[in-house]
Amino acid sequence: MKKLNSILFLLFLLVAFNVKAQDPTIDEKLTEVNDKVNGLLERLATDEADLSKLTKIKVSGYIQAQYQNFESPSLLSTSQNYFSLRRVRVKFTYEAADGVKFVLQPDFSPGALSLKDAYVVLNDRWTNAFSLTAGKFNRPNYEVEYSSSQRELPERSLVIRTLYPGERAIGAKLEYNPLNTPIHIQLAVLNGPDGLTINNSAGVNQNTNENKDYDNFKDVMARITYNLKLGSFGGLDFGAHGYFGALKSNAVKTLSSDYSTVKDIKFGDALKRNWVGGEFQLYADVIGGLSVKGEYIAGKNASVGYAPVAASGTTAAVPGVANFQNKFAGYYLYLIKNLGKKNQFAFRYDYYDPNTDITGKDVAVKGFTTTDAVTLKSKMSGKGDLATTTYGFALHHYFDDNLRITLGYDIVQNEKVGTSGKVVDNYTDAHGNAGTLDWSNAINQNVFTLRIQAKF
């Protein structure tokens, strides 16, 4: 801008000198030229201000187009293979002022338009160590916060998808990340039930308003990580996180996952959901670069039941369903190896047991039998208590920094029910033929994925 002003000033002097030499009405000519130059300067100043605002806006995003084939027999009556758009994200970041940032990220996937991120970040200008985030953002967990555009397997591990459906939550988060110490601390207060389904006696989800909390309870998440440099070998990140939350009880009993312990609870009381986890990420600059990453999480999860209600058109009561509080454990382990500069291989072992109180041989054997069938239903253990092991493989080819093609294959193995015929699923294939899945056997649930990702 200074150079432009200098050039305009020189032009003004040249024009003024020329006018003075040729025209006796020098004052009028000088005034006319001066007005024109001032008008031009005002327009340039306005354009510069507008351009300055635009430079504060950053736009990025990615598209994931894919073809998938599902080998599960239970999908025979529907589409087992199809093309789809897994994610279509556009992210807008606006640096409003020094230390202030706004982020907005919708997802435009067909039939699933949703708002993924919408939050403001206020950074500490004095120590540059603290930041406050408010709005809708990723929950503080490694695999949750690890971007879907960078992740080495097509989808997150089963334990993460179960505990943190949709990955995001609405709330506020305080972070401590000092400049000279490789420690990162996150503390978040969240609505909690984001993404959960909480059905009433009619099977209607009561938790459909994503922008409002389902109850008065707030959930707390905390995560701490530390980065350790290993010289020329690489680096090691390790840490832990915890989740401490509750849901409002709609029932008067809570059944534990051993199917024998039943506790009284009042309508509206807190139904606890608490767990802790440990994590590590090892990055090694050996044989072309490799990394090993893992996380273990265990604790108590819960689902909300409902109290007895009057049957439609009668005064007779429909038995209620007890809350269910289950002990669980899950973990995953990654091995990622670069194959030259353009290719990468990834393997993940993924295990999730939704009920550590019983094994497969107990499923459909252990159950809760009520002594008052008028007010409470009995409940038998089922396939929802079975553990799942997944072996995930992926091969990536990077055409450049913005284009990646992925071949992925997940081998999914279920824990087997101990007795044949105890837990079965009936289905009808596309030709109208009836079939049965017996969960005392290994059910083929493998998935093949071919994905192309384009970033901008």
β-pairing, 309-310 vs 317-318, is antiparallel
CA-CA distance, 424 to 199, in Å (whole number)?
24
The CATH number of domain 56-455 is 2.40.160.10: yes
pLDDT digits (tens, 9 = 90+) for 81-118: 999 999 999 999 999 888 899 999 999 999 889 999 99
- Residue 366 scores a pLDDT above 90: yes
Calculate what percentage of the chain has a pLDDT beyond 90. Answer: 70
Confidence category of residue 19, pLDDT binned at 50, 70, 90: very low
Average pLDDT over residues 47-65: 80
Number of other CB atoms surrounding residue 432 within 10 Å: 7
> CA dist 337 to 284, 286, 344, Å?
10, 10, 6
CA-CA distance, 305 to 282, in Å (whole number)?
42
CA angle 137, 140, 143 (to 5 degrees): 100
- Residue 316 scores a pLDDT above 70: no
Instruction: Note the pLDDT of residue 35.
Output: 64
CA-CA distance, 374 to 407, in Å (whole number)?
54
pLDDT digits (tens, 9 = 90+) for 130-182: 999 999 999 999 999 999 999 999 999 999 999 999 999 999 999 999 998 99
β-pairing, 323-339 vs 253-256, is parallel
> CA dist 444 to 205, 388, 390, 413, Å?
30, 12, 12, 7
- Cβ contact 279:240 at 8 Å: yes
- The dihedral sign for the CA sequence 160, 237, 119, 176: positive
Nearest to 123 by CA among 99, 143, 101: 99
CA-CA distance, 354 to 303, in Å (whole number)?
12
Taking 3-state DSSP, the helix, strand and coil percentages for the chain, each rounded to the nearest 5, stand at: 15, 50, 35
